[in-house]
Amino acid sequence: MPFIPKPEYGNIWVSIKADGCYGLADPTQWPQFMSEDSRWPWLCAIERKPTLTTNRVVMWAPFTPVDFVPLQGSLKMVMGDVKVLETVHATRIEAMQLHVTEALQTVKLFEKYNARNRELTWLSTTMKDTLDRLSFPATYRDMTRQHACVQRFWLMTNAWFEWHINIFQNYHLDRIDRMASLRVRDNLISAFTTSPMFAKCLFDADIPV
């Protein structure tokens, strides 16, 4: 495998980084320790950044000053300094909105054929609300965090579907093409575990562990 992560043991200091993510503690960036009792085992089904260039790469792309557009007349006092508030460039918002809308349509389809799931509703609602906030005036630091939040909850929403529908088929959707079994599903971020039961669960699902 081209991607063999190294686990971090013991207590670690968790803090938000300059890119809006949480480094090694961020399940969208690094495999986490899990067991059969984990609250969110589907986090190991988060997709890693594609190696090929596609329009989906925007959901992994970092936020840069080029994507930050000044708003005339929007001023704010920040740490004693007057700063111009800015927003995300429309091109970046449109590129992300394409994939968020697709995920939201899948959520609607899910709710059509299954009972409403509280966890999925939380994921999709947070994803949508955070995308909407990209159009609001903010500082560069705040917008970087909002941008990363959209990506995080989009990845988590897709991971929830991947885990519950494509892998274990706990639910079924009428017109979703199910992913064929891969040997191995090396497009997923996977997880670390010391639990033989959870390790076998992932092994049987063709998920690296």
Question: What predicted TM-score, i.e. pTM, was given to this entire model?
Answer: 0.84
From CA 47, how far away is CA 154, in angstroms rounded? 10
When divided into structural domains, the chain yields a total of: 1
Q: Mean pLDDT across the chain, nearest whole number?
A: 86
204 inside domain: no
- Give tens-digit pLDDT for 31-74: 888 887 888 999 999 999 988 778 899 999 999 999 998 776 56
Region 188-198 average pLDDT: 86
| Among 36-40, 96-100, 169-173, 178-182, the least confident range | 178-182
- Within-domain flag for 37: no
Residue written as token pair 């064929």: 180
pLDDT band with cut points at 50, 70 and 90 for residue 176: very low
Q: Place 2 in a pLDDT band, splitting at 50, 70 and 90.
A: low
pLDDT tens for each residue of 13-33: 889 999 999 988 899 998 888
- Give the other-Cβ count within 10 Å of 23's Cβ: 15
In a domain? residue 68: yes
Whether 194 maps to a domain, the answer reads no
Structural domain contains residue 3:
no
Inside any domain, residue 203: no
**Which residue range is the domain that position 165 belongs to?**
51-180
Quick check: is 112 in a domain?
yes
